[in-house]
Structure 1
C-alpha cells in the first residue's frame, strides 16, 4: 500500500482516460481539463475504461510520481462516469486503492473546533 498523508488532498477524475497516457499527458489533463495545479502536492487519480485499473499522479516536491494498479480478480468501485472530479479523504483513497467497495460510504466525522479561551 502506498500511504497518502492526511495533509494531502485526493481528487478522482470521474471520466475514464486513455491509459496509454504517461506522466506528461496526465499532468496536462490535470492542468487543462480538471483546472488544477498538478504540482500542488495533491493526488490525482485516473480510471481506465475497464474498472480494474487506476493510475495516480502526485508531485512530491522533487519530482512527479506516476503509479498504476491493476486488480486481478475484481474491479474498483468508481463514482459514476461523468465529466468532473470527486474529492476523497486519504482514508477513502486507501480503501479505493485496496479495492474496497465501501469507500464511498465512509465519511469523516465533523470535528468541533476548540473555542479560544482567555
Structure 2
C-alpha cells in the first residue's frame, strides 16, 4: 500500500507462477486491520480490498439441538 493509502499491489503465488494484482481507488483509502499491521489473514485482506472495515465483532452463542 502506498503512502496515500489509495493504491495496493499484491503479489500472489499460484501453481503456474506469481500473479501481481494492482488496485487503485478513485475515492477513499484502504484501511489496515486494527489488530495487526504486520500480518493479515486472507479474510481480512479480502475485506480490506472490498472496503469493508470490521471495527468489533463477536459471535453470539446459539442454541444447538444435539
TM-score per shorter chain, which class? 0.5 to 0.7
Q: Relative contact order, CA 8 A, sep 6+: which one is greater?
A: 1
Aligned equivalent of 2:27: 73
Aligned length: 57
Aligned equivalent of 1:54: 8
CA distance in 1, matches of 2:10, 2:51: 14
CA distance in 1, matches of 2:45, 2:33: 12
Aligned equivalent of 1:39: none
The 3 A distance-change label for structure 1 pair 59 and 79 is: same
Aligned-partner SS, 2:9: strand
- TM-score of the superposition, structure 1-length normalised? 0.40
Displacement after TM superposition at 1:91 (Å):
2.0
Structure 2, gaps ≥5 residues long: 60-66
CA distance in 2, matches of 1:105, 1:69: 26
Q: Detail structure 1 runs of 4+ shifted over 6 Å in the superposition.
A: none
Contact 2:10 / 2:22 at 8 angstroms: preserved in 1?
A: yes
CA distance in 1, matches of 2:43, 2:57: 8
* Structure richer in helix, relative to its length: 1
Aligned-partner SS, 1:73: coil
